[in-house]
Amino acid sequence: MSYIADHLKARFFDVERYRHVALTEDAATLPLWNMSGQMVGYQCYSPKLPKIHVDDPRQSKYYTWVTKPCASNTAELAVWGLETVTWASPLVFLTEGVFDACRLHHHNLPALAVLGCNPQHLAGWLKTLPSFKVACVQGDAAGQKLAAFGNAVVMLPAGKDVGDLTEAEFEELFRKYL
């Protein structure tokens, strides 16, 4: 296996489960879709790069590109993990990032990565989902923004994302959903 495939597996990302993922030795490119099934962007994950690269964001650990960024009035409604949600899903978890959603998918729970902590541009769209929405957040200010988009909240330990939890922590926090 390549470095990136091994790295993704350690983060609960099952390459066989997610379609249309492009892998190189050092990076994974994940498509972002809208509700019409159109690819409207992508996120490139390069774990060996710094978290932020001021001069060239494409040289950062996470680089996200969407056809119409959320700063525009006609922002694209792009999320990751849509293939795990159906109209019959009784609930859906909302996470900031892809690997947090992967951890939930690993336990067969539907989850969407909204690619940030303040998905205001997704507010109307999220309200159309018939599912009960559970936001997975840290207790910080950023987490509180995402919490506003859920019908319920799973509060995570300080400094931890869903993908960082031990299996015991995960089972304790998500027991009622498993």
- Contact yes or no for 155/113 (Cβ under 8 A): no
Residue 136's pLDDT band, with cuts at 50, 70 and 90, is very high
Question: Which pLDDT score, from 0 to 100, does residue 69 have?
Answer: 65
Domain covering 82-177: architecture: 3-Layer(aba) Sandwich (3.40)
| Average pLDDT for 27-55 | 92
Question: Which pLDDT score, from 0 to 100, does residue 98 have?
Answer: 95
Pinpoint the residues of the chain covered by CATH 3.40.1360.10. 82-177
What is the Rg, in whole angstroms, of the alpha carbon atoms belonging to the chain?
16
Question: Which pLDDT score, from 0 to 100, does residue 130 have?
Answer: 87
Taking 90 as the threshold, does the pLDDT of residue 23 lie above it? yes
Taking 60 as the threshold, does the pLDDT of residue 1 lie above it? no
| Average pLDDT for 60-82 | 82
Average pLDDT, the chain: 89
Taking 80 as the threshold, does the pLDDT of residue 156 lie above it? yes
Residue spans of beta strands (DSSP E) within the chain: 22-23, 28-33, 39-45, 62-66, 91-95, 111-113, 132-137, 152-155
Taking 90 as the threshold, does the pLDDT of residue 73 lie above it? no
Summarised one tens digit per residue, pLDDT across range 86-131 is: 878 899 999 999 999 999 999 999 999 998 888 888 888 888 888 8
